Structure 1
Amino acid sequence: MTIEHSWTIIEQRLASEFPAAAATLNAGASMEKIKTLEHVIGQPLPKDFVASLMRHDGQRQSDLEGSELLNFNRLLTVDEMIHDWKQCAELFEGFGEIEWLQPKRIKNLTWNTGWLRFSDFQNDGFVLDLDPTEQGIVGQIFFRPNSENQTQTWADSFSGFLARLAALYESKTYELEQGCPYVHIPIG
């Protein structure tokens, strides 16, 4: 499924079932902003992620119930991703490997400058992995809670992530928690 097709499904479902969330979607980011993000993180972004940013530059913050995209997570804007990445790079500089954690596809680090968090709920969020293990795939997506380390990916690419989200909305295979679509995300 293409980024455009996934977004069309998501936008339609949000408009009909979660209008508070639909109202928070921003217009697309400029190529200039996206290039700034790539410069800050020191590497190019996957084309599917860029295409999504050009469609929607995250979501505006809202206190309205049901305004989040999934699991109370709001999509971050390019500026928020830059701020978050810089903050994490500074905060976790020098942290080594987590010896007890042995993931297959995600590096066993507290934080990695090859990770770009693109959603947020109380510092939990989905992460674009640009520096996976040898068994991983550049551009894979995983959920990073702030209290535990993730060992499983959610999708092999941002296209896969968005297609999975579109399928959840289309099939209504989610629970509602405080007006927000919610799915169980296994951590390890």
Structure 2
Amino acid sequence: MQQYWIRWENWMTQHAPRLLNLLRSGASFESVESLEKLIGTALPPAFKTFYAIHDGQQKARAGLVDADQLLSIEDITAQWYHWKDQLDAGTFTWRDEPIQSTPDTGIKNDWWNPLWIPFTSDGFGNHLCIDLDPAPGGKHGQIITLWHDDSHRAILAPSFEAWLGDYLTALEKGEYIFVKKWGIVHKDTFLNYND
């Protein structure tokens, strides 16, 4: 995963050097192990290697993933607890029936699943997640979308490494730009304006 971080840091050096200051030092083995114990299963090896190099980003308005924060292990844990608390409180039920999502084939139709591990956040309850409990037709470790107020769940990539490679290739092709207020954003987004 080192080569992926080199590519990302090279892009930031050329286009947004201030973002380099947001990178955290690597996550400890203990913090990752603690998260795995919490969720009751192992995280994908590529994800753990990636986080051993940089533990996501510092909290800031500027995000590294299309304006979203790349969460630290501590923040992943906090987001997981937030969703789990809502699940346990019955927030995702209506008249004693589970509220279902409308997922792509390969994703379970839960509103949220404890084995959907959020690793990005827009600050409004929307995430990219690693799906460690796919439905038939899906792949363990696939990357999916999770919206707090929209039922659709989409598969973005078959694995964390595939998602990361696709994102970095898009960066290098110029599909994303740096906007001071928001960080790295897609060049066609409404967030791309002179600030």
- Shorter-chain TM-score: what band? 0.7 to 0.9
CA distance in 2 between partners of 1:30 and 1:151 (Å): 31
Counterpart in the other structure of 1:166:
168
Shift of 1:81: 0.9
TM-score normalised by structure 2 residue count: 0.84
| One-letter code aligned to 2:172 | E
Q: Counterpart of 1:92 in 2: which secondary structure?
A: helix
Gaps in structure 2 of 5+ consecutive residues: 93-97, 190-195
Determine if the alignment matches structure 1 residue 118 to structure 2 residue 119.
yes
Partner of 2:185 in structure 1?
A: 182
Q: Which residue of the partner structure matches residue 95 of structure 2?
A: none
Q: Aligned-pair RMSD on alpha carbons?
A: 2.0
Matches within 5 A, 1:57-72: 57-63=55-61, 67-72=62-67
Q: Is the 8 A contact 1:92 1:110 kept in 2?
A: no
Tell me what 2:107 maps to: 106
Matched AA of 1:37: L
- The residue identity in structure 1 corresponding to 2:110 is L
Q: Distance in 1 between matches of 2:150 and 2:117?
A: 17
Equivalent of 1:84 in 79, 82, 85: 79
Superposed displacement of residue 60, structure 1: 0.4
Q: Partners in 1 of 2:99 and 2:137 — Cα distance?
A: 17
Which of 1 and 2 has higher RCO (CA within 8 Å, sep 6+)?
A: 1
Task: Report the 3-state secondary structure (helix = DSSP H, G, I; strand = E; otherwise coil) of the residue aligned with 2:49.
Answer: helix
Q: Which amino acid aligns with 1:129?
A: D
Q: Please state if 1:128 is matched with 2:130.
A: yes
AA in 2 matched with 1:34 = V
TM-score by length of 1: 0.86
Instruction: State the alpha-carbon separation in 2 of the partners of residues 102 and 80 from structure 1.
Output: 25
Note if contact 2:146-2:153 (Cα within 8 Å) is conserved in structure 1: no
Distance 2:143 2:46 in 1: 12
Larger Rg: 2
Secondary structure, counterpart of 2:42 in structure 1:
coil
Shift of 1:164: 1.1
Distance 2:87 2:48 in 1: 26
Q: Percent identity?
A: 26
| Equivalent of residue 157 in structure 2, options 143, 155, 158 | 155
Q: Shift in Å at residue 88 of structure 1?
A: 0.7
Question: Does the CA contact (< 8 Å) of 1:105 and 1:152 recur in 2?
Answer: no
Alignment-derived partner of residue 41 in structure 2: 43
Q: Return the offset for 1:91.
A: 0.6
Q: Is the 8 A contact 2:103 2:151 kept in 1?
A: no
**Counterpart amino acid of 1:105?**
G
1:71, distance to aligned residue in structure 2 (A): 2.0
Whole-Å separation in 2 of the counterparts to 1:7 and 1:176:
17
* Cα shift readout 1:104-131 (whole Å, capped 9, x = no counterpart): 0211111100111011112212111101
